[in-house]
Every structure is written in C-alpha cells, then in structure tokens.
Chains A and B, each alone.
Chain A
C-alpha cells in the first residue's frame, strides 16, 4: 500500500505552530492528535468547525489517523448543516467556541494537556488513496456539492505550492487572515505547513491592528496569507507593519496597482494563487511582473470548445474551470474573467441564475434580475445590484424576504425598483441593456 507521511520537511522537534502561549513542536502536535484520536467518538465523518487554526489542525490529524473524513463546507448555514446531517448520519461536529451546531451532535475540543510528547517516536503515514477531506462548494443550485480529496493529492498540493513559492529552502511562518476550512486557507496555511516545512500562527487576525500583532508574535521569515480585500484595508489603515517577507493573495484577482503598493510598503514579493475548491491550487504569478500565470508542478490544462479543464498533478480527476482562459506556451496562461453567470464576492461563490431564482420567489416580486456592475474599485469589493419590479414592496420588505434565502454578501446593494425590466423580444435580458439601466439609475441618483 502506498503511504505518505502526515508531515514532510520537519523533524519531530521542528516547529509546526505558534500559539499565543508559545510554539508547538511536531512531537507536541502529534501527541495532541493521538490523544484526541483516542477520545473521538466512533463514526467516519468529522465536521471540524474549530476557529483556532491549531485546534483545527489537531482535529484534522486525529481524524486522518483514525480514518475519519474531514468535512469542510463553504457555508455554515442551517440548510448546509441539515444537508450534511442527512448525507453523513454519523457526523460529529468538533467545536472550540459557541458555534450553534443546530441538531448536529456537538463535541467540544477537549483539554489535551495530559498528552506526552516524549512518547511520540515517529511521524504517522497515511494511505495515499484514503479520502482525507471533503470540501464543499455552494453549487449553482445552492445545495452544497461535495469534492473528495485523497491524502495523496493533498500532500502533492502542499508540496507543489511550497516548491512554487520557494519555501522548501527557507521555511516561513504562515500568518493567515482566511479561515482554515476553506480551500485557500486549508492549502496555504495548513497543507503548506505540513508539507512545506513551515509553521503556522494559530489565530485568524481580522482588523489591521490584529494582523500587525500576529505578525509581531511569530519569528521571521513571515508569509502573510491574505486576500485582496484584507490587504487593501491593511495598507489603507496606515498603521506601522512589522517585517513581512512574503505576501500571498487569492480568492479574487488583485489589481496590479495594489500589488505594487503592497510590495513597495513591505519590501516583500507578492504572489497570487489561482485555483478553485474543485481543482485545488493550479497556478501562481508574481503580480508585479505581468498578467501571465504559471502552472504549479504536475498540473495540466486542456481545452475543449469554450471550456478549460484542469487535470494531472494533485488535481482530482478532470475539473471544468469557470474562468475564460487563454493558454500560452511554456505552462503559462492568461485569465480573461469568469463565465458570465458566475459570481464571486469576497471569495464566496454563487450564480446569477440561483440569485434570480431566489428573488423571483419572494412574494410580491413580479420580475427581477441581479446584476454585477463592471466598475471594480481598486481592492474594494464590488456589490451586486438588483433590478426589481415589485409595486407592492419597499426596499426594507424586499431585503427582509431575501435575507433568509441568500448569503448576506450577495444581498443587493442597492435594490433598484423599476416599472419593467429591459427584456428583449425573446424575453432575454442582454447584459448591455442592464448596464445601461444601471448607469441611468445610478447616475440619476447621484446627479
């Protein structure tokens, strides 16, 4: 049986994590994981909701060595939890805060201080074909779609990212502003530590001052794993930043000007990562050096009509990508935006079709269409607009009806009430007609 180690690039006395109370060596981490594994209830699925990155890591490792699958949904909505309960009847929810698990069995992260790190003699090996995690995307219908990740592919992903970023030679301490359960944070703050010889900070700093404090708390060299939005607010805050040695950004494309400002302010190189939950990470670029992306080692892209597929390397199967891609020689490519229907706001994805379905189902709405305007502000988050025909509703009533149906980041801002939508003779809504309506209404409102 082909097996791969839980950790590569670090010995038992190497540092795997930094907590506010101090560092954890690999042997401390493994002792915690063994102790937790011995206490976890039976069952083959673990919904790991731990907020603390170290707790998540211990829970993941404990599950992995006892053959449990880590479930990592994109959203924590009631609908998602109900769905997980029905698909995984023996699921247990591992929590380290007051997260409301609804009717899922809750299991609080225990005190593991009795675990003895001196009893740890080796790093466990895991079958390469064991399904280690299932990451979920919201799917165009709104129902969570599962994507299985085997241990072998996850290890390969971590190693490929470390090689691309050149971390194998100089291990960094990873400070992440993104949650560890979602694909980007999972890969770049957790797998990158396990298989890139790095250590991670246990917290998830949010405000600019938190990010500065977290960086200050860990040794150099430091890699800040963040998003365009967090990065732009960090820079705009104007606070003094501790030394940063490398910057990583993903979830949305980073404007070149923001990348240049970030490099100038920190003196650190900035890499962007391109990927998706379905495919894992696929490519990287140094944004200030130009728009072309370079594929991670082993990964391949192929095209069929309008669609680009990712395969090989650490990609599970053959994954259709939702972006318009132009292939270039030497494993490079350009991104030309997403296929029109798909929406990504601050890393959360949905489709216009799903949103339009939800708004149309609101009592009193006669016709409606969501619209994502073109005007992208540097590093800011572009919000959706909705055009609504609903003579009996006001904007407050409409939002109240939409709130339980869609994630707050997709709520229309603003909702514009109109007498009719500019549908063409076949009933379709051309994007340029909506753009014209948007400009007319917004400029009218401003003027």
Chain B
C-alpha cells in the first residue's frame, strides 16, 4: 500500500493529519508535538479503541474513504502517524 506513495507526499500531508487527530481527540498537545514515528497506542499517545473510531470518522469525512477491519494491514496502518498518513495518501478520494 504505502510503498507507492512518495515520502515527500507523506511529509507534506503529515501536519494536516496530526492536526485532525489532535482536534478530533481533544488532545492536550500541539499537532507538531506528535512524533510521526512513535506508536499511536500504548507507549506513544496512548490511544484506545474509542479513539480509533473517532479517527476513522474524521478520515472518512476529510479524505472520502472508509476503513475496514478485515484489511490485513490494520495493525500497520495505526502503527504511527507516518504509517496512517501514508495509508491516507494511498486511499484518499478527495
């Protein structure tokens, strides 16, 4: 999935996705404080499954595609902000 997306495209999109996450989850931090390569769950931002559904909703609104849990790449998609951004870049319809 993400291999086909140029790293530069992902880098450009990163701040926008970070801002969406911070806004959707009401996180007490600035978007640029999210380490793009840190895990979004557990040790990183400590997100939970409620957050995943919130993020999925804003992604579908902003980028025009739906997440599915039967996607084998799911664990990888939410591995980090960078992985999520790469996935969005590869799937977006708007």
Asked if B48 and A207 make an inter-chain contact with CB atoms under 8 angstroms apart, the answer reads no
Residues from chain A with Cβ under 8 Å of B47 in the complex = 408
Say how far B77's CB is from chain A's closest CB, in angstroms. 11
Asked if B46 and A209 make an inter-chain contact with CB atoms under 8 angstroms apart, the answer reads no
Bound state CA distance, A206 and B60, in angstroms?
14
Contact with A along B59-78 (1 / 0, CB 8 A): 01000001111100000000
Bound state CA distance, A244 and B28, in angstroms?
39
- The answer to whether B27 has its CB under 8 Å from any CB of chain A is yes
Bound state CA distance, A215 and B2, in angstroms?
30
Which B residue's beta carbon lies closest to that of A399?
A: B46
- The answer to whether B26 has its CB under 8 Å from any CB of chain A is yes
Which B residue's beta carbon lies closest to that of A383?
A: B26
- The answer to whether A403 has its CB under 8 Å from any CB of chain B is yes
Say how far A77's CB is from chain B's closest CB, in angstroms. 13
Contact with B along A27-52 (1 / 0, CB 8 A): 00000000000000000000000000
- The answer to whether B50 has its CB under 8 Å from any CB of chain A is yes
- The answer to whether A210 has its CB under 8 Å from any CB of chain B is yes
Which residues of chain A from 299 to 350 have any CB-CB distance to chain B below 8 Å in the complex?
A: 346
Residues from chain B with Cβ under 8 Å of A409 in the complex = 48, 50
Cross-chain contact of A415 among B28, B56, B57 (Cβ < 8 A): B28
Asked if A233 and B53 make an inter-chain contact with CB atoms under 8 angstroms apart, the answer reads yes
Bound state CA distance, A409 and B51, in angstroms?
9
Bound state CA distance, A64 and B24, in angstroms?
45
Residues from chain B with Cβ under 8 Å of A205 in the complex = 69
Cross-chain contact of B53 among A207, A238, A414 (Cβ < 8 A): A207
Give the interface size bracket for A toward B.
Answer: 20 to 34
Contact with B along A202-235 (1 / 0, CB 8 A): 0001111110010000000000000001100100
- The answer to whether A236 has its CB under 8 Å from any CB of chain B is yes
Bound state CA distance, A395 and B26, in angstroms?
15
> How many inter-chain residue pairs (CB < 8 Å) link A and B?
60
Contacts A237-B60, A383-B26 known; A209 to B68 CB distance under 8 Å? yes
Residues from chain B with Cβ under 8 Å of A120 in the complex = none
Bound state CA distance, A233 and B49, in angstroms?
13
Say how far B48's CB is from chain A's closest CB, in angstroms. 4
Say how far B24's CB is from chain A's closest CB, in angstroms. 11
Contacts A209-B67, A233-B54 known; A408 to B28 CB distance under 8 Å? no
Say how far B51's CB is from chain A's closest CB, in angstroms. 9
Say how far A261's CB is from chain B's closest CB, in angstroms. 15
- The answer to whether A413 has its CB under 8 Å from any CB of chain B is yes
Residues from chain B with Cβ under 8 Å of A413 in the complex = 25-28
- The answer to whether A239 has its CB under 8 Å from any CB of chain B is yes
Say how far B88's CB is from chain A's closest CB, in angstroms. 15
Which B residue's beta carbon lies closest to that of A208?
A: B66
Asked if A237 and B66 make an inter-chain contact with CB atoms under 8 angstroms apart, the answer reads yes
Residues from chain A with Cβ under 8 Å of B50 in the complex = 229, 346, 381, 409
Which residues of chain B from 17 to 66 have any CB-CB distance to chain A below 8 Å in the complex?
A: 25-29, 42-43, 46-50, 52-54, 56-57, 60, 66
Say how far B47's CB is from chain A's closest CB, in angstroms. 7
Asked if B68 and A210 make an inter-chain contact with CB atoms under 8 angstroms apart, the answer reads yes
Residues from chain A with Cβ under 8 Å of B26 in the complex = 383, 413-414
Contact with B along A355-386 (1 / 0, CB 8 A): 00000000000000000000000000101000
Bound state CA distance, A238 and B56, in angstroms?
13
Residues from chain B with Cβ under 8 Å of A236 in the complex = 57
Bound state CA distance, A238 and B47, in angstroms?
24
Which A residue's beta carbon lies closest to that of B25?
A: A413
Say how far B32's CB is from chain A's closest CB, in angstroms. 15
Bound state CA distance, A96 and B43, in angstroms?
26
- The answer to whether A411 has its CB under 8 Å from any CB of chain B is yes
23 contacts between A and B (CB under 8 A): A207-B69, A208-B56, A208-B57, A208-B66, A229-B53, A233-B53, A233-B54, A233-B57, A236-B57, A237-B57, A237-B60, A237-B66, A239-B66, A383-B26, A395-B29, A399-B46, A403-B43, A408-B46, A408-B47, A409-B50, A413-B27, A413-B28, A414-B27
Q: A208-B56, A236-B57 are in contact. List 16 more A-B contacts (CB 8 A).
A: A206-B52, A208-B60, A209-B66, A229-B53, A230-B53, A233-B53, A237-B66, A238-B60, A403-B46, A407-B48, A408-B46, A408-B48, A411-B46, A413-B27, A413-B28, A414-B26
A-B residue pairs, 4 tightest by C-beta = A414-B28, A209-B66, A408-B48, A206-B69
